Amino acid sequence: MRNVLVGLSMLAGLASQSLMSLALISLALISLALISPALADVQIGILMPKTGFGAGFGAEEQGSIDLFMSKYADLGPAGKLKLTIYDTRGEPAQAISLTRKLIDTDNVLAILGPYFSGESEAAFPVANRAATPIVTPSSAKPGIAAANRPWTFRNASTTDKTDAALVVHWLKRQSSPVRKVVIFYDGKDAVSSSDGKAVMPAVLKANNIEVLDSISFQTGDVDFSAQVTRAKALGADGIVMTALFTEAGHLTRELRRQGMQQPILAGVELSLDHKFIETAGDAAAEGVLTGADFNRDSPRPSVVAFIKEYQERVGQLPGNSSALMYDALFLMRHCIMTTGVAGSSAADKAKIRDCWAGLKDVDAPIAGPSSIDENGDARHAPNFLIVKSGKFVVDR
């Protein structure tokens, strides 16, 4: 009997020790939970034109967003990348209100967008005053980021940097000298207007090209007969147009319909969009030269893979807008993961700002080595594209 009592006493002691050990382990786990932050998803806002006249560009961007998130949503220690996407309809007023909403209500870490230069001109001051990083993947009007330092950036080349090289290339490839041109420009679209009224005339003048006339139209126009009739009487050697793909397509079709066969140079606003060729028609679009950040003929393996995966997912080839958004997402993710942000505090936002400002030769999937200059603008070497047999191909 005494041995039984001793055995029970020993078992009771062991049980007591086990319970104490479990209690200590539980306390340790609770303490770790209190002092170690839980993984927090990182929220990014995106502003894009899902409806309205820019919906085609927004659709291209959405294809890249879906593809990117299927591959890179995992941020490792930072949790998951989450996106809050709003439709600006391509309108500056919407861009302003939605920028405020993303910052004040959604509490995002940073914003990608808006798409158009007019929207960016409106939204950038809002984000800059709110000390929130904002990066437009696409707007190209010079000076927008420079006027709103230090929180604003862009992942696209500005037209002043692209046009200088583009005009020289266009002039060199002509079999007959181009000495006199007519400029057609969209007076409503911010970058097309700036390019047609200021940037292109200065570049043409620097190359001793006379501008006979500058003829404007408006976003949404489809009848260009009067403008082309006016230009036809001037005897130009070449035609320069700064317009979005739809208007540029209608204009090109009318130029050829009225017998104007002069070489056409289209600004970067064309955005390498195949709808330009569809609207103009293969024959009318043949030989039109433009510039873009994106080169679909690049042998770079990551570009080849992107085009293949995008086409399989979306059912069409990616355009310039697709490529710029994909790289912008990649560079934003790079900044999140390399700076160790875990939320959207003021300190986290400052880390993202400083990362974008300091980007130098970061290897983006499409553009390759990517850098940001002192004005917040991307440094990209332009690609020259020409329409041949119904397709944009590199013109070397």
Alpha carbon distance 123, 91 (integer Å)? 10
Question: What pLDDT does residue 355 have?
Answer: 98
Question: What pLDDT does residue 271 have?
Answer: 77
54-79 as b/e: b if 16+ CB within 10 A: bbbbbbbbbbbbebbeeeeeebeebb
Per-residue pLDDT at 15 exceeds 60:
no
Question: What pLDDT does residue 1 have?
Answer: 45
Question: What pLDDT does residue 236 have?
Answer: 97
What is the pLDDT averaged over residues 178-205?
Answer: 96
Mapped onto helix, strand or coil, the DSSP state of residue 44 is: strand
Share of the chain above pLDDT 90, in %: 81
Task: Give the contacts of 118 (CB within 8 A, at least 6 positions apart).
Answer: 92, 189, 190, 191
Question: What pLDDT does residue 167 have?
Answer: 97
Which stretches does DSSP call E strand in 236-358? 238-242, 264-266, 289-292
Mapped onto helix, strand or coil, the DSSP state of residue 312 is: helix
Question: What pLDDT does residue 274 have?
Answer: 82
> Whose CA is closest to 377, among 146, 115, 121?
146
Average model confidence (pLDDT) across the chain:
90
Fold of the domain built from segment(s) 42-157+299-381 = Rossmann fold (3.40.50)
> Whose CA is closest to 113, among 62, 185, 52, 40?
62
Give helix 225-232 / helix 245-257 axis angle, nearest 10°: 50
Quick one: pLDDT band at residue 40, thresholds 50, 70, 90? low
User: pLDDT tens digits, residue range 104-144?
Assistant: 999 999 999 999 999 999 999 999 999 999 999 999 999 99
User: pLDDT tens digits, residue range 143-170?
Assistant: 999 999 999 999 998 988 899 999 999 9
Q: Which CATH superfamily is domain 160-292 in?
A: Response regulator (3.40.50.2300)
Question: What pLDDT does residue 252 have?
Answer: 98
Residue type, 73: A
Question: What pLDDT does residue 77 have?
Answer: 82
User: pLDDT tens digits, residue range 60-100?
Assistant: 999 999 999 999 999 988 799 999 999 999 999 999 999 99
What residue ranges of the chain are covered by domains with CATH 3.40.50.2300?
42-157+299-381, 160-292
Mapped onto helix, strand or coil, the DSSP state of residue 128 is: helix
Beta strands 289-292; 362-364: pairing state:
unpaired
State both tokens at 84: 């809050």
Question: What pLDDT does residue 76 have?
Answer: 86
User: pLDDT tens digits, residue range 297-308?
Assistant: 899 999 999 999
351 contacts 110 by C-beta, under 8 angstroms? no
